[in-house]
Amino acid sequence: MVVASVRSQAPPVATLQSPAWKQALADKGAKLQAAPNNPQLWLEMGAVLVKGREYAEAERIFRIGAATHPDFEMLSAAALMTGGDSEAYWHGEAEASSKPAKRSAAIAEKFESFEAPPDVVSAWDQADRAVDWAAEAKGGVIHRTKEPIISPEDCAWVIETAEADGGWTTGRHVQAPTTDMPVSQVPALREWFDGVLRDTLFPMMGELYPNVVGQGGNNLRVMDAFVVRYDAQGQASLPVHQDENVLSFTIALSSPDDYEGGGVCFEQLRPAGTTGAFAPHVLNADAGGIVAFPGKVRHGGNTITKGRRYIVPLFLYVDSNDSGKKPGYVQRQFGLPEAPPGAVAALSRYAGGAQV
């Protein structure tokens, strides 16, 4: 997912959530309590929460409103914009924001790390939602695994399964389109992917980004995930762009023996802990390896000059509030109704049979 960037220095919570903001929230909550059948009130309540960067609350309000008012298209659009297809994939139970923590030496040893320019990392971007990337700047925010974390056999199976399915599309992304298929559209891939999220990827991201993601990775959500096929005789590259999500990463599926070129290209990086100039870098990984980075860091797909390269890109966000409060507090505070069973999951474009 790609979006034009909006950056600024992040104001403190006290500024975002001023007495006037709190009063506006209380007023909207009281009106919504009195008239829950008014879809416009759900939309307005969510908008107030976005303004205060209570993104976890805004998503829940938009989703419940959209689920209970399926004909009000603006609510459905707001729900998909804030939550994407997160209900199509496994996720843990959201928690209150954790206290500041250091990246452990054990997890750092598994990755090669890189720094982005401090002004890029520290400036708030709309893709950041309620997280502060400056808290993770020490030690780098772009990481590449030194060894595969997914077996080559699994990677080969994913490629084989995707090709057997054949559901390749080219029109799902507007600004940076790829030849791809959503993971959730292929039942066997989805089952495998949910297990990888639960057992490997989310816990690892929690360790790698303890201040942004939180230990355990329970607040991570998949906005989108898809298998991409690059081909020297077809789509061979991807323009430099920014993603509209908090955290992006790619799982390499192909062995470097299967292609030439490729990798994630970045405009300005340098190895973590060094003082040299920031310069263009291309980061690649063997089959089963990953490259992880903030979605707001400009990146693209380096050109394939021979063969085919398959990857699984993941667009992730953190289900959290700027206040640090446990997600769902607004619904509890105002006694707002629950959505009908299955209705929230059904908002996802690819949510059939979601496991939550």
Q: What is the pLDDT along the chain (356 residues), one digit of tens a residue?
A: 444 444 455 555 556 889 999 999 999 999 999 999 999 999 999 999 999 999 999 999 999 999 999 899 999 999 999 998 898 899 999 999 877 888 889 999 999 999 999 999 999 888 899 999 988 888 899 999 999 999 999 999 999 999 999 999 887 766 677 899 999 889 999 999 999 999 999 999 999 999 999 878 999 999 999 999 999 999 998 899 999 999 999 999 999 999 999 999 999 999 999 999 999 999 999 999 999 999 999 999 999 999 999 999 999 999 999 999 999 999 999 999 887 777 766 676 654 433 33
Let me know: does 239 contact 176? Beta carbons within 8 Å: yes
How far is 149 from 288, CA to CA, in rounded Å?
A: 6
Report pLDDT for 340.
74
Buried b (16+ CB within 10 A) or exposed e, 49-84: bbebbbbbbbbbbbbbbbbbbeebeebbebbbbbbb
Domain residue ranges in the chain: 7-88+322-347, 105-318
Report pLDDT for 9.
52
How far is 1 from 18, CA to CA, in rounded Å?
A: 32
Buried b (16+ CB within 10 A) or exposed e, 313-336: bbbbbbbbbbbebbbebbbeebeb
Report pLDDT for 289.
97
Contact residues for 226 (Cβ-Cβ < 8 A; gap 6+): 172, 178, 180, 181, 182, 183, 312, 313
Question: What is the C-alpha radius of gyration for the chain, rounded to an integer number of angstroms?
Answer: 20
Report pLDDT for 4.
41
Tell me the CATH number for domain 105-318. Answer: 2.60.120.620
Report pLDDT for 26.
96
**Residue 226: alpha-carbon gap to chain centroid:** 12
Q: Is 84 left (phi over 0), alpha (psi -120 to 50) or beta?
A: left
